[in-house]
């Protein structure tokens, strides 16, 4: 026995070798996995080999096994038994449960075709994995022929593995999420730590260079280059031990491999479904490229970071959401000693989503802290960041920024920390086209890196009565202001608020200006150090003094008007009662505009009474809308177009907002925000109001969202132009109900949106129930037209969904009508809907772990292509009762598809091209008809795909029917009705 010691991620591992096997190129097809037995060293002579590849489940589990090439050379392997008709048979090495495995010098070769030859390495090892000098060559295709090139997992929590000098450089077919596999995947089986040293991964399509964030383990990268991979040049996660050090990350499509494809090759293998694994319509577009995307999804991790890394953004076929994009599921991250070169347009350098709101119900908020620690970072270039801040932090409380240098003249904002609490900022040198830092913070250092001790004069001059709240650093009212106007310290030493009448002026000495709220906005002129600050640079103060619970009342004052009643017009007609003023109210937002008058019901108010107008400043319209909704119980939006500049957030309450006016989002409404958002409360209705995303800005934004509202309704509304309106975005959605009890979306027209049209789902611990989607016309959506999800509902509290009488058509991905999720119980009825042109299927029901869920899908129609007209499945161990009756499915599609876990179920009297039943399903389908008029059926299906011809069965049954017309004619008459 020979003992060979190898160092793996700094730890020594002894391999006890009892046998050495030598292999030469002339030995015929080689099954490498079969050679990898316990205590064996396999030595390949350099050269070219053909190999027998294995299915995913056909694994080995050797202990103390070394595979190497003699003399440190290279052995190249192509697949001998690869075939597109068996998409699972693609693993050159297939290990599961191995321990102490070292592999070096192999060169897997996919060949020079995008339509065949993809092979991979499956390496699931408890502890002690070492992979060295592996270069994966050849072309990488898309589904159904592609394969993960590398699939490594460390199965033990305290296990380690190291991958040194791994290379994969393409070219590839760049397709959408889940439609091509990329260089590798690391998923939930990974529990330990895996270290990559000097990896080079380029030109990989689909799910990124590596799709490596969803697991309990950790990953680290040191050295190497990641270059122009789709979705993300690297997809990893935050977490303890998850680090990038000395890594170069590049997005430059112009210097990428010119053989990369952005469309599927013209090859028959891509023409349709193949054994359930196909490139569906929803994924036939590349995702766009981020640099590094951190997303631990349902694992909710915090920690780790980037150290001494170089990020380069030169060109792209389609930008992502951020070069360094940190998902809401991932918490505190370091960014230290890094440089960003941002020459291309379309996305910020750093974007961290808010952990307060997860993208999907299955995602888990990370443990605090959530703040980013950004130190000694330089960001420069000519890119425009897509109109977003260079550094965009959303609810990243406790962030620290020091020694940050930004030189991006075409970017609008340098750092956005609006909505972040307890942010500390040290030395900065920020040069951008607009505001250097947006939001409130402590210990601000002014431009140029000074220590912030110099002061400037900030003045606010009123052209009409107003109220204001200003924040910055060391905000100090001048003596004249204290003596002459109503001003109060807000208790922070960094802010003050008050009121001004016409022509009054408030002046402050400040070390730095941060943000101001002025109502009405167009009644003020704000000057800093002698320069006028335009209103679009006022920033977005989340909570001014008068909106703080239990805070002071700060009513807008009235001017003293000698010509008539104060605040009620100028009496230019001499009447003295203000009737000469067409509005009767020159204060544009006085203190009692929501009170009733004899001519209208109590609690009623128009947004115009609070200052809104079709030609008003968008900030004024937004403020008026907020005040009207929080003041009145019935809010009228009159005919006209009202542009708003930020999200209207309403907490709790009970209100009806009705049209026929149209609310339009300006470009200032933030990405992944909704124009209207109601949080909590009960009996909230939106009726007849238009919500317009303008369809000119493909930023992902939504129309209206309800969070945890009891009895929420949207009816008779036109909602359009939201999100990537002519493409696809996974959120936000046009009309969105989250964790609501009692939902009605009825008689709406929703069209040309990038996400889902109308969406209702449970979130975190908030179940959903009582959902009615009725009579809506929804078309041209990026994802589903109608979607319901019940992830956190239980069998003792199932959700109830009624989806009826809707007209839906033309989804660019996913389904048209869908009830689905990662878990949860529900009772669903889909009936009387009409659908056309689905990307995948018209009607879909999918849920795992079912105990008591039931789906009734009846009297629906579908005309179009896709995988199926109706598809139903349970992906867990439960029994889903999914019944389909009297549906009409026409077109080039798979008809009705029972995929798994459907038992017992009944399907009858449908017209469909086919009725497919999986092996694990129990479906009674006594009779159905093809569009060509052929009667078919089966009394008990279990794994039968064709479900038989009725002719012989009917003949047999007729022999037992006495003194009556034939059973065949009875059934024909029944179907005729």
Q: Which residues share a beta bridge with 123?
A: 95, 152
- Please indicate, yes or no, whether residues 797 and 915 belong to a single structural domain of this protein: yes
Q: Same structural domain for residues 944 and 802?
A: yes
How much is the pLDDT for 569? Answer: 34
Mean pLDDT, range 373-380, rounded to an integer: 96
| Short-list 243, 319, 617, CA closest to 464 | 617
749, 764, 780 - which closes a domain: 780
Residue 40 within a domain: no
Is the four-CA dihedral 720, 723, 725, 727 of positive or negative sign? Answer: negative
Task: Answer whether 938's CB lies under 8 Å from 925's CB.
Answer: yes
Q: Which residue has the higher pLDDT, 901 or 566?
A: 901
Lowest-pLDDT range of 140-149, 637-646, 914-923: 914-923
909 against 946, higher pLDDT: 909
Q: Which of 255-264, 796-805, 849-858, 955-964 reaches the highest mean pLDDT?
A: 255-264
pLDDT band at 88 (very low <50, low <70, confident <90, very high): low
Does pLDDT of 598 surpass 70?
Answer: no
Would residue 741 count as lying in a domain?
yes
* Burial degree of 805 (CB within 10 A; 0-12, 13-18, 19+): middle
pLDDT band at 578; cut points 50, 70, 90: very low
Domain's final residue, options 780, 805, 824: 780
Counting the structural domains of the chain, the total is: 3
pLDDT confidence of residue 970: 55
Higher pLDDT, 878 or 922: 922
Q: Over the stretch 215-261, which tens digit does the pLDDT of each residue have?
A: 999 999 999 999 999 888 899 999 999 999 999 999 999 999 999 99
Per-residue pLDDT reduced to its tens digit, 888-907: 999 988 899 988 878 788 89
Residue 641 in any domain: the answer is yes
Percent of the chain with pLDDT over 90: 51
Domain boundary among 751, 780, 809: 780
Residues 514 and 599 in one domain: no
Residues 714 and 765 in one domain: yes
pLDDT at 282: 42
Q: What CA–CA distances, in Å, run from 524 to 468, 475, 645, 770?
A: 9, 18, 17, 48
Shared-domain flag, residues 666 and 703: yes
What is the reported pLDDT for 577? Answer: 31
The mean pLDDT of the chain is: 84
Among candidates 874, 909, 867, 907, which has minimal Cα distance to 888?
909
Model-level pTM?
0.53
The predicted pLDDT at position 393 comes to 96
Statement to judge: residues 775 and 789 lie in one domain: no
Rg for the chain (alpha carbons), in Å?
Answer: 32
Confidence of residue 575 (pLDDT cuts 50, 70, 90): very low
| For residue 99, cis peptide bond before it (omega within 30 degrees of 0) | no
Higher-confidence residue of 663 and 942: namely 663
At 119 the pLDDT is 93
Of residues 18 and 473, the one with the higher pLDDT is 18
Distance CA 759, CA 313 (A): 35
Distances, alpha carbon 569 to alpha carbons 464, 577, 608, 913, in Å: 13, 8, 16, 72
Question: Is residue 568 domain-resident?
Answer: no
Q: Which of 637-646, 733-742, 897-906 has the lowest mean pLDDT?
A: 897-906
Separation between Cα atoms, residue 501 and residue 75, nearest integer Å: 84
Per-residue pLDDT of 126-144, as tens digits, reads 999 999 999 999 999 988 8
Helical H segments across 855-911, by residue range: none
Question: Rounded to whole angstroms, how far apart are CA atoms 585 and 608?
Answer: 11
Preceding amide of 907 cis, omega within 30: no
pLDDT of residue 875: 76
Does any domain span residue 506?
yes
CA 798 – CA 735 distance, rounded (Å): 23
- Please report where in the chains the tokens 């491999």 appear, as a residue: 257
- Can you give the pLDDT at residue 503? 86
**Of 7-21, 268-282, 674-688, the least confident:** 268-282
Residue 879, pLDDT score: 74
Instruction: Give yes or no: residues 844 and 768 share one domain.
Output: no
Q: Is residue 259 part of a domain?
A: no
Return the pLDDT at 509.
Answer: 85
pLDDT of residue 286: 67
Higher pLDDT, 264 or 104: 104
Answer whether residue 957 shows pLDDT above 70. Answer: no
Q: Is the pLDDT of residue 400 over 60?
A: yes
Residues 750 and 792 grouped into a single domain: no
**Same domain flag for 760 and 801:** no
Query: Is 977 exposed, middle or buried, given 0-12, 13-18 or 19+ CB atoms closer than 10 A?
Result: exposed
In a domain, 922, yes or no: yes
Is 970 in the same domain as 873? yes
**Edge-to-edge strand ranges of the sheet holding 777-781:** 641-644, 662-665, 690-692, 718-720, 749-753, 777-781, 807-811, 834-836, 861-863, 888-890
Q: Is residue 560 part of a domain?
A: no
Share of the chain above pLDDT 70, in %: 84
**Which runs of E-coded beta strand occur in 493-603?**
495-500, 505-510, 512-519, 524-528, 531-533
* Structural domain span for residue 724: 592-780
């Amino acid at each position: 026995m020979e003992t060979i010691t190898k160092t793996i991620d700094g730890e020594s591992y002894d391999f006890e070798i009892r046998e050495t096997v030598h292999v030469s190129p002339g030995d015929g097809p080689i099954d490498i996995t079969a050679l990898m037995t316990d205590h064996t060293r396999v030595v390949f002579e350099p050269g070219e080999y053909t190999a027998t590849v294995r299915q995913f489940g056909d694994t080995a589990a050797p202990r103390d096994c070394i595979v190497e090439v003699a003399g440190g050379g290279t052995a190249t392997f192509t697949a001998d038994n690869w075939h597109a008709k068996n998409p699972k048979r693609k693993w050159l090495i297939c290990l599961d449960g191995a321990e102490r495995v070292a592999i070096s010098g192999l060169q897997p070769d996919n060949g020079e075709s995008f339509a065949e030859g993809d092979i991979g390495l499956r390496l699931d090892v408890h502890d002690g994995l070492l992979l060295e000098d592996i270069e994966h060559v050849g072309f990488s295709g898309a589904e159904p022929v592609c394969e993960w090139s590398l699939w490594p997992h460390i199965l033990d929590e305290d296990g380690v593995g190291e991958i040194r000098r791994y290379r994969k450089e393409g070219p590839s077919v760049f397709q959408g999420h889940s439609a091509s596999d990329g260089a590798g995947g690391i998923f939930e089986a990974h529990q330990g730590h895996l270290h990559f040293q000097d990896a080079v991964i380029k030109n990989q399509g689909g799910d990124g260079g590596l799709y490596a964030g969803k697991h309990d383990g950790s990953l680290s990268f040191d050295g190497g280059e990641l270059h122009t991979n789709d979705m993300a040049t690297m997809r990893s996660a935050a977490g303890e031990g998850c680090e990038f050090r000395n890594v170069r990350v590049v997005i430059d499509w112009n210097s990428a491999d010119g053989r990369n494809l952005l469309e599927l090759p013209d090859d028959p293998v891509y023409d349709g479904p193949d054994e359930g694994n196909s490139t569906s319509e929803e994924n036939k577009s590349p995702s766009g490229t981020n640099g590094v995307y951190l997303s631990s999804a349902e694992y909710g991790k915090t920690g780790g970071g980037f150290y001494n890394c170089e990020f380069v953004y030169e060109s792209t076929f389609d930008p992502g959401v951020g070069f360094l994009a940190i998902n809401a599921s991932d918490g505190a991250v370091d960014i230290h000693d890094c440089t960003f070169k941002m020459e291309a347009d379309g996305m910020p350098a750093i974007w961290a989503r808010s952990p307060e709101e997860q993208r999907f119900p299955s995602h888990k908020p990370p443990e605090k802290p959530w703040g980013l620690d950004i130190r000694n970072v330089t960001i420069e270039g000519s890119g425009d960041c897509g109109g977003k801040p260079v550094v965009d932090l959303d609810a990243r409380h406790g962030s620290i920024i020091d020694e940050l240098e930004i030189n991006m003249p075409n970017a609008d904002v340098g750092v956005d920390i609006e909505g972040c609490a307890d942010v500390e900022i040290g030395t900065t040198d920020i040069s951008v086209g607009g505001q250097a830092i947006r939001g409130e913070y402590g210990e601000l250092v002014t431009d140029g890196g000074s220590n912030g001790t110099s002061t400037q004069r900030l003045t606010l001059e009123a052209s009409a009565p107003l109220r204001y709240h200003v924040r910055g650093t060391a905000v100090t009212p001048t003596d004249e202001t204290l003596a002459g106007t109503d001003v109060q310290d807000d208790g922070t030493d960094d802010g003050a608020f008050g009121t001004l009448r016409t022509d009054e002026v408030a002046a402050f000495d400040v070390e730095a200006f941060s943000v101001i709220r002025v109502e009405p906005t167009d009644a003020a002129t704000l000057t800093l150090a002698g320069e006028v600050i335009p209103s679009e640079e006022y920033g977005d103060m989340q909570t001014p003094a008068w909106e703080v619970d239990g805070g002071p009342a700060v009513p807008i004052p009235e001017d003293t008007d000698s010509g008539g009643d104060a605040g009620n017009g100028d009496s230019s007609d001499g009447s003295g009662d203000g009737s000469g003023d067409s509005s009767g109210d020159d204060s544009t937002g006085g203190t009692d505009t929501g009170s009733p008058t004899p001519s209208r019901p109590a609690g009623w108010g128009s947004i115009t009474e609070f200052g809104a107008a079709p030609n008003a400043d968008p900030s004024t319209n937004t403020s008026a809308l907020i005040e009207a909704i929080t003041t009145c119980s019935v809010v009228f939006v009159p005919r006209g177009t009202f542009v708003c500049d930020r999200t209207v957030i309403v907490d709790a309450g009970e209100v009806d907002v009705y049209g026929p006016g149209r609310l339009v989002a300006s470009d200032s409404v933030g990405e992944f925000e909704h124009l209207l958002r109601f949080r909590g409360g009960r009996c909230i209705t939106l009726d007849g109001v238009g919500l317009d995303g303008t369809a000119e800005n493909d930023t992902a934004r939504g129309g209206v969202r309800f969070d945890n509202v009891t009895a929420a309704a949207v009816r008779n509304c036109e909602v359009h132009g939201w999100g990537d309106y002519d493409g696809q975005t996974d959120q936000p959605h046009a009309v969105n109900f989250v964790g609501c009890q009692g939902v009605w979306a009825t008689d709406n027209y929703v069209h040309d949106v990038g996400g889902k049209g109308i969406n209702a789902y449970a979130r975190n611990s908030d179940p959903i129930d009582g959902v009615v989607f009725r009579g809506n016309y929804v078309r041209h959506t990026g994802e589903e037209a109608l979607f319901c999800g019940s992830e956190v509902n239980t069998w003792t509290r199932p959700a109830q969904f009624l989806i009826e009488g809707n007209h839906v058509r033309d989804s660019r991905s996913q389904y048209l009508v869908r009830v689905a999720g990662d878990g949860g119980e529900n009772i669903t009825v889909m009936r009387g809907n009409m659908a056309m042109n689905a990307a995948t299927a018209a009607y879909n029901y999918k849920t795992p772990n079912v105990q008591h869920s039931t789906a009734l899908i009846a009297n629906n129609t579908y005309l179009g292509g896709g995988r199926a007209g109706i598809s139903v499945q349970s992906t867990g161990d439960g029994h889903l009762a999914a019944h389909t009756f009297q549906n009409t499915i026409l077109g080039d599609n798979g008809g009705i598809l029972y995929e798994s876990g459907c038992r017992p179920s009944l399907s009858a009297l449908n017209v469909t091209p086919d009725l497919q039943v999986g092996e694990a399903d129990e479906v009674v389908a006594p009779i159905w008809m093809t569009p060509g008029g052929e009667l078919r059926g089966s009394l008990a299906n279990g794994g039968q795909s064709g479900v038989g011809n009725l002719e012989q069965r009917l003949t047999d049954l007729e022999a037992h029917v006495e003194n009556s017309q034939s059973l065949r004619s009875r059934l024909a008459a029944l179907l005729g009705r």
